[in-house]
Structure 1
């Protein structure tokens, strides 16, 4: 009788315990990399077309942008204003070479790197300036599955 009662208690306890949640599936980094690269290409196309609205559509409302000379824009409105000024220069030319994309274990955050060269008109001297830089962008996956930039840093220096 004692054995039957012990078995019944163990079975009741086993029925009451919750299974540990199964680990979520690993993100499909190839698909997510392609999605982010598509956004990067669209941004470069918008910069080439001098379209600030499209060039900034991938920034989150609370994003931070650090330009090639260290100037910081906080929030999408400030980023849009900076891009309007930047794209008003008819000499603007950007050559962008995307680099690695690295994802968080959960797949909801990523960072990407790139190298770029840029030509623009110096506002003080009115001469063309060529710079070479690196880019580090932080991406956050949105509820709808899209990606938004939350931080974008573009340090640079003059080319040789």
Structure 2
């Protein structure tokens, strides 16, 4: 009777146990979805607050941001490229999550929603993939945006 317990304990201690819920227990996907939405909202707030240090805290060390045909690989490259967006008193854009989904295992999630110019006009749609760290914090691992050009936007705007 003690053998399964000792085996399970050994797996946890050795790091072999999954970070998802144990078999037979259900993850609260609604709570995880709320957590991811809150993380994305706080991530966006860091831009509005002009706080690149807070912004940095939401990015995984191995993240990839795709601002176009070239990829920004790793947190240092992302922060170097995004530093210009934190200059000045007003943020050059803002965003908010409208769709949040979490995988059944509770380790990955995706957010997407509109990106707005300073006047509040939607200009892009962002899509971010989040990974839950062992400590429960969510970090962005992939991020990209799609231009809304041509979608109900007059030419030249």
Q: Same fold (TM over 0.5)?
A: yes
Query: Considering only aligned residues, what root-mean-square deviation do their CA atoms show, in Å?
Result: 2.7
Number of aligned residue pairs: give it.
132
User: How big is the shift at 1:89?
Assistant: 4.9
Q: Deviations over 1:7-50 (max 9, x none)?
A: xxxxxxxx9xx8xxx73433212211221122122122211121
Q: Secondary structure at the match of 1:50?
A: coil
Number of the residue aligned with 1:135: 126
Distance 1:93 1:149 in 2: 21
Within-5 A mapping of 1:1-160: 23-67=23-67, 69-90=68-89, 92-119=91-118, 132-158=123-149, 159-160=153-154
TM-score relative to the length of structure 2: 0.71
Q: Deviations over 1:54-105 (max 9, x none)?
A: 11211110000122x5552110011111221122255534342312222222
Whose strand proportion is higher, 1 or 2? 1
Show structure 1 runs of 5+ residues with no match.
Answer: 1-14, 121-129
Looking at structure 2, the residues matched to 24 and 88 of structure 1 have their Cα atoms a distance apart, in angstroms, of: 50
User: More deviation in 56-65 or 104-113?
Assistant: 104-113
Answer with 1 or 2: which has the greater Rg: 1
Mapped contact 1:119–1:131 kept (Cα < 8 A): no
Change (3 A) 1:100 1:26: farther
Query: Can you give the 5+ residue segments of structure 2 that lack an aligned partner in the other structure?
Result: 5-21
- Give the 4+ runs in structure 1 shifted more than 6 A: none
